[in-house]
């Protein structure tokens, strides 16, 4: 029965669940809440755990719902970005006529584990720097892999609003990555 002991889950999968949650919630505190709520939900539902999936897979499935719950709850408290939000920052990336203001620099190909780990850190730091709502919509899509229809439905925003947020998030992310070490001279 040790497989169904919540303290064992915490010891064996706590760090893993926290890392998954942290990357999508962009906050230590919220990620800790997500882990706790996941383990409490798992505790309440453990009679229904059939053992078909590994405990980690089962717990990660519960965690995904908890992450969306937390984001939804948080979005209720903050003001949704108005359509103009971020538009000025986007204006800086383009000229009046719609052409790029600066040519895009190519990204290098990381080879060593140290280089890769450095890039991962930059990736997460850039995502943390997005505005909260944008960061969360971006993470639900790019990290968690939710379909935009699901995101819109879960967060009660229109598809157009969702696409605008994702477009801006991707423009800012790309810019941030280029400025923080992704760009390499002479790379493809």
Partner 1 sequence: MKWMPTCRETTALASRALDTRLSFADRMALRLHLAICDNCARFNRQLQEMRRLFREEAADDTTPGLADDARQRIATTLQKTLGA
Which residues lie near partner 1 (CB under 8 A)? 6-7, 10, 14-16, 18-20, 22-23, 28, 32, 35-36, 39-40, 43, 90, 93-94, 97-100, 103-104, 106-107, 117, 119-121, 123-124, 141-143, 145, 147-148, 159, 162-163, 166-167, 170-171, 173-174, 177
Q: How far is the CB of 37 from partner 1 (least distance, A)?
A: 10
Give the tokens for residue 187: 């790379």
Q: How far is the CB of 68 from partner 1 (least distance, A)?
A: 16
Nearer to partner 1, 76 or 84 (CB): 84
- Tell me how far the alpha carbon of residue 145 is from its chain's centroid: 9
Single out the residue of 139, 126, 122, 18 nearest to residue 71, CA to CA. Answer: 139
Nearer to partner 1, 79 or 188 (CB): 188
Q: How far is the CB of 50 from partner 1 (least distance, A)?
A: 21
Q: How far is the CB of 138 from partner 1 (least distance, A)?
A: 9
Single out the residue of 84, 86, 75, 80 nearest to residue 175, CA to CA. Answer: 86
Longest dimension (CA), the chain: 66
Give the tokens for residue 65: 């719902």
Single out the residue of 144, 4, 134, 167 nearest to residue 61, CA to CA. Answer: 144
Nearer to partner 1, 3 or 147 (CB): 147
Single out the residue of 149, 168, 172, 144 nearest to residue 159, CA to CA. Answer: 149
Nearer to partner 1, 157 or 166 (CB): 166
Nearer to partner 1, 51 or 98 (CB): 98
Number of helices and strands in the chain (H, E):
8, 0
Q: How far is the CB of 79 from partner 1 (least distance, A)?
A: 24
Q: What is the DSSP letter of 147?
A: -
């Amino acid at each position: 029965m040790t497989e169904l002991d919540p303290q064992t889950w915490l010891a064996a999968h706590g760090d893993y669940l926290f890392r998954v949650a942290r990357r999508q919630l962009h906050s230590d505190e919220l990620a800790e809440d997500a882990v706790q709520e996941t383990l409490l939900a798992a505790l309440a539902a453990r009679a229904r755990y059939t053992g078909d999936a590994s405990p980690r897979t089962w717990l990660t499935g519960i965690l995904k719902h908890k992450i969306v719950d937390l984001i939804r709850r948080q979005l209720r408290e903050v003001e949704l970005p108005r359509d103009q939000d971020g538009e000025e920052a986007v204006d800086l990336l383009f000229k009046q006529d719609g052409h790029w203001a600066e040519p895009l620099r190519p990204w290098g190909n990381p080879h060593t584990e140290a280089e890769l780990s450095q890039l991962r850190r930059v990736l997460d730091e850039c995502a943390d720097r997005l505005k909260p709502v944008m960061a969360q919509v971006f993470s639900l899509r790019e990290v968690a892999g939710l379909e935009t229809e699901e995101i819109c439905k879960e967060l009660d925003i229109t598809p157009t609003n969702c696409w605008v947020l994702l477009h801006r998030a991707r423009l800012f992310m790309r810019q941030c990555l280029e400025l923080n070490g992704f760009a390499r001279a002479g790379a493809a």
